[in-house]
Amino acid sequence: MADSPFLASIVLVSLALAGVSPLMMMGLVINRVVSDRRGRRRDARREVLIGRMLDFTSGVGTMDGLREVLLPKDKALLGEAAGDLMRLVRGVERERLTGALQDLGIIATLLAQLKGGDRKHRAAACANLSFSPDPAVIGALEKTLGDPNYEVRLAAARALADLGEIKSLSRFIEGLEIGAGLESRAIMSILRDLGANAVPQLLNELDRTHADAFKLHLIEALGRIGDLRAVAPIVPFVSHASVEFRATALRALGFLGDNEALPAVLRGLGDERWEVRTQAATCAGRIGAVLCVSPLKSLLDDAEWWVRLRAAEALYMLGDRGQETLLTLARDPDPGPAGKTARHVLAERNKAA
């Protein structure tokens, strides 16, 4: 009997919860419906604004007409759409659009967001400002290279690279390097997009003390830029103690495709690690080094399938002498790994032809 009040209270609480649960569920459903409806209205308004802006850039309408239809909340929407809008126009239309966004206060809205928004909005503001060469925008993006959040710094660096406004490469690189995320391929992409004009400075950075992960991005970016001034500085990395450095250096030299790298490529073909031999084989094919035919033929018996495949592909790329080597191996009535790999590559290449 002593337990009766306690049991009664449990029953009452259970009944109360059972009654409240449907109300809570209904509240969640209503909230979701309202949120979805608000989102649809927002998307519809965004499309209307984009249409108006595109009409203006093509010569339909005036600035006064744009101001008349612009609501206070539309500035935030246009700020979010700025990057997408800029990707749709070129030349004179792009200049008109940039001017309109400036006159309507959209750029000022994005600058305020860059200064006082949360992490997500600061990064988005960087992306949406990557079209504006306004000195105030450039200055704000340069300051953002010191943002406490790494992703925001990365977005600012991307915007500055897109604008071609890297005034201090060392400051720029400091913002990219410090913090987490060095494995991000976005860093290499940004460095690559700096282009040939930045090669001397990038080579200087290659000689400086940087984290290994960042230096690997530098090497690959220099390869992808394709400026032959990078060949000689990259070659020594083929002898680096790190497998990743050796493989990355050979991949970069493959993109550069210069015969000056031949001694390093020959060294790479005999490397103890299959990852390096694979990159060396690809590099030999891209360089077009017929002196590599014999070592490439030897790699067709390599224990690693990727090495055999890349060696066979390189031989095919080396022209008549390499292709004759493959044909001889492929015709063997009892082919080993070398003959089978040769048959595979010849079949694939002939199919592609």
pLDDT in tens, 145-194: 888 888 888 888 888 888 888 777 777 777 776 554 555 677 788 888 88
pLDDT at 212 over 70: yes
Residue 116: the pLDDT is 81
With respect to residue 241, please indicate whether it lies within any of the assigned structural domains.
no
Say whether pLDDT at 322 is over 60.
yes
Question: How confident is the model over 245-297, as pLDDT tens digits?
Answer: 999 999 999 999 999 999 999 999 999 999 999 999 999 999 987 889 999 99
The residue segments making up the domain with residue 344 are: 261-353
3 state SS of 229 = helix
d(CA 71, CA 74): 5
Whether residue 31 lies inside any domain: the answer is yes
Average pLDDT of the residues of the chain: 84
Residue 324 lies in a domain: yes
Whether 60 is covered by a domain: the verdict is: yes
pLDDT at 249: 97
**In this predicted model, what pLDDT tens digit does every residue of 9-68 receive, in sequence order?**
777 777 766 666 676 666 666 766 656 676 687 778 878 888 888 888 888 777 787 787
In a domain, 164, yes or no: no
Please give the residue that has the higher pLDDT: either 318 or 37: 318
The answer to the question of residue 114 being in a domain is no
Q: What is the pTM for the complete model shown?
A: 0.72
Reported as a pLDDT band with limits 50, 70 and 90, residue 329 is very high
CA–chain centroid gap for 337, Å, is 37
Identify the CATH number of the domain in which residue 307 sits: 1.25.10.10
Mean pLDDT lowest for which of 98-102, 236-240, 246-250? 98-102
Among residues 104, 127, 146, the one where a domain terminates is 104
Look at residue 133 and tell me if it is in a domain.
Answer: no
| Confidence check: pLDDT of 141 > 60 | yes
- Distance CA(86)–CA(324), nearest Å, equals 52
Q: 211 vs 292, which has greater pLDDT?
A: 292
Nearest-angstrom CA–CA distance, 229 and 202: 11
Lowest mean pLDDT among 119-123, 173-177, 310-314, 337-341: 173-177
In single-letter form, the type of residue at position 139 comes to G
Final residue belonging to a domain, choices 54, 70, 104 = 104
**Residue 178 domain flag:** no
Final residue belonging to a domain, choices 65, 80, 104: 104
Residue 102: per-residue pLDDT: 85
Count up the domains in the chain and report the number: 2
> Which residues lie below 8 Å from residue 190, measured CB to CB, with a gap of 6+?
154, 157, 158, 161, 176
Looking at residue 29, its pLDDT comes to: 65
Q: Which residues neighbour 336 within 8 Å (Cβ) at sequence distance 6 or greater?
A: 301
Angle subtended by helix axes 91-103 and 74-86, to nearest 10: 160
